[in-house]
A = this chain, B = another copy of it.
Amino acid sequence: MSRIKIYGSAISGNCLKVKWTADLLGIAYDWIETDILKGETRTDEFLALSPAGQIPIVVLEDGRVLEQSCAIMLYLAEQVGSDLISSDPFEKAKMIGWLFWEQNFHESSIAVRRFRKRFAGLSDGDIDPTLLTRGNASLQLMEAHLEKHSFFGGDQLGLPDIALVAYTRMAGEGGYILDDYPNVGRWISRVENALGIPPYGEENV
């Protein structure tokens, strides 16, 4: 497909998902670093592209805009005809189910708590306690799944792995204890290896 623009931030798991998917699929892109902490998603220029004021967004060669990390991942994989999207409708629906679970349950707890601790500078007592409970429930579900499976997308790396690894590997910054989830820890390494990215904390995007 034609070269795209990705508006994203290197500190945002949602944005890295799109970057990693484009890299894996061999899609050429320009990365436009966009700093949410400096309000760069709230400028008139950005809101004209995307009224929701969130990153990542992708701008296609003809100027049309796509929003929402997981919707963009699905679009990119479909555009290049990747086998990351199964031709079996049930398998595809299971895979998309993981993406929705990630955005609804996992990201909304782990990523949010990480943001409030690391970037908003809130102390634990000022953070909604359900974020810790739900984030740990997310990690427990992943730990149990990985007892029987190597990946979330099946027997090999899939879109759910890319989506889920983004904030899971940063979960320590949210106050979650990844050492309590050894299967998850090994899976993070498998996904990082498959994506060709260094362990979290050692990379420069």
Q: How far is the CA of A103 from the CA of B69 in the complex (A)?
A: 13
Mostly, the A contact residues are helix
B97 pairs with A71, CB closer than 8 A: yes
Q: How far is the CA of A58 from the CA of B140 in the complex (A)?
A: 23
Quick one: CB contact mask for A144-155 with B, threshold 8 Å, 1 for yes?
A: 110000000000
A94 within 8 A of B: yes
Given A67-B101, A103-B103; A72-B52 close (CB under 8 Å): no
Interface size classification for chain A: 35 or more
A71 pairs with B51, CB closer than 8 A: no
Question: Which segment, of A24-32, A73-81, A166-174, faces chain B?
Answer: A73-81
Quick one: CB contact mask for A29-45 with B, threshold 8 Å, 1 for yes?
A: 00000000000000000
Set B67, B90, B104, B145: member contacting A103, Cβ < 8 A:
B104
B96 pairs with A144, CB closer than 8 A: no
A67 pairs with B97, CB closer than 8 A: yes
Q: How far is the CA of A142 from the CA of B54 in the complex (A)?
A: 15
Chain A stretch 86-110: residues in CB contact (< 8 A) with chain B:
89-90, 92-94, 96-101, 103-105, 107-108
A68 within 8 A of B: yes
A66 within 8 A of B: yes
Residues of chain B contacted by A60 (CB below 8 angstroms): 90
Q: Which residues of A contact B (CB under 8 A)?
A: 51-52, 54, 60, 64, 66-72, 74-75, 78-79, 89-90, 92-94, 96-101, 103-105, 107-108, 128, 130, 141, 144-145
> 6 smallest A-B Cβ distances: which pairs?
A128-B128, A71-B97, A75-B93, A68-B97, A68-B100, A103-B104
Known: A66-B97, A68-B97, A74-B93. 12 other contacts (CB 8 A): A60-B90, A66-B90, A66-B94, A68-B98, A68-B104, A71-B97, A71-B99, A72-B97, A75-B89, A100-B100, A103-B103, A103-B104
